[in-house]
Structure 1
């Protein structure tokens, strides 16, 4: 029986949101699930004696995710979303298995890198699949919703990791990723293909260069790419430094999972409440408002931090992080929707380019700030303010283009709903 095309095969919006959220959680498990095991990793691999932090296991994972995105984007535009996603899930499982049985640090780091390479497939393809099925504000609503559901990962996964550690060790935590990979593989087969055969591209270097040129030549996409790098940098400062800040500056290491989970709840709620606002005001206006709120929060947070000589109460610092992270999560899916709208048959590759900018460049920008954090949280707040102002400027440029350059929603057929 031939494959049913994406236009003819009906999928409910709820089923699409559930699938895209789940493949996102698969990607995030490699980071969030490992957080509770950091102390065991430190001891098992003598990281203190080596002068290393357990965060290095997350760093190589992110490197793998960044490097894999362009490859998956190109392949997905040629062969379709489903086979490429299945290949990524397979690589993910290989990396997770190798990490589970790693006998030494070198093997663990290589395995984590491979794990990240596999995780980059759902990172890229969840947005490309959404673009295949929806457009305009409808796409923005769907992306915001599955991003909100996806954020159950940072809330629940660390607690799952803690629960596994009560009956096993860090290897058992990593092994749990194999179960998630198996479930995702089965669901991917059942979900089917979404790329219209008419939009498939040849497997050549030219399409990648074409997509790069299209991103650079399309003002909306170009400026949003730069904005995502800046806001990605601001968010990764939190992701990379929250644990040492809570542990070393505020001496509350036992409460890290609670603070991390609470931040995830804030991000998820913000995205859920954002859906009706998109319907009323549109994604372009909402993304600028969220960015403006982020900058205002950073300015107020920095002022209070400076007034407290760099170490405000943990509730002041976390209150700022809670709200700022919520604004970051609101901006992410709306930015992606606006940037990919003009890309059409280049959506897979363009999504990968956006992902590399946010993950690769953003992680590099975050590292600059992370290196400055020692006895105070001032660098974190100052970095958020600087990156926020630059990102806001880019979003303003992106959303104030002449009418001919602003993407318009295309009609969505019944079969795509």
Structure 2
């Protein structure tokens, strides 16, 4: 490494996962062209990397907040581009970051452009923590519930949120821990395949989520104003059913899901309350990468024979946030969101808001994580395309992260909701 060149991460090389950093290089020659690199390893040990070419200014400085990438993993001015453009060498590989106790460690380096594979001129390591100081992480094995509870520091009370991050087996802590950093008490639960849960399921029970909500509400630091529910994909229709059939659900964030109960029948107190809308393989196509486009892979949810799967969200007492990505290739989420909006309006309801993100794909997650174009789908049993243009998708994630917090604070924190109403 050159002793004259410095690579700095400002304001600090250590930060929270959702905080931006300024990547700054100085000590270069005037107008020198260099390659910036980033590399990180996920929780499964898979290496992800990104690179971009930059030209220093007359003072020998490259500032990613100001300077455009001339080529590489992305182009243009993208201050966090080296983070969201991280990609594995193997196709259909999703960045797996689940354990909140392990930070997302990204190693940045700057190289002579002619010798990008050679020694670095300078290096710096960014430690991006999923847990803020003082946030308590408590594994939950109580009754039927298997999950992890995150409690912010302080006496509270805190607005309580149930996180249904994934329908797949196992447990993901990332979104729940990051929401807890923002002042929410969050319980993320596994639906199957975690701890002593069965590896596969043939039906789902709303009683499980009722138990989870009761666990949240009885916590001494929980705000006594009802709970929020956040979801994505298949868990989106579960969130709709929770909001429709269970009490004390005040705010539900539905992200890129369906308006009908999909894949597995839903039971409550021993009786089936929703049938399952199933897949129609005739609507599935194959993309150039070999991943499946399953956007139109469901039977017609409005057909009379599928009426039993449609969730009667007009019965819900709480608020909805419908979030849809226009280039979602997993669900026709814009269609479903539009139909839910139309249905509620037709019935005189105004307990919802809708956000649509152009050029964005299915997996809208907390910001500054690697964009994923496709990965293996456990239910489908094959790689599936998620859609989205990387830059637009990354921008949408930043906006949505702030929108989710605003939505929950407005409808779960009495003072915040009253203040917004006055405005």
- Structure that is richer in strand per residue: 2
Q: When the two structures are superposed, what TM-score results if normalisation uses the length of structure 1?
A: 0.26
Highest RCO, 1 vs 2 (Cα 8 Å, sep ≥ 6): 1
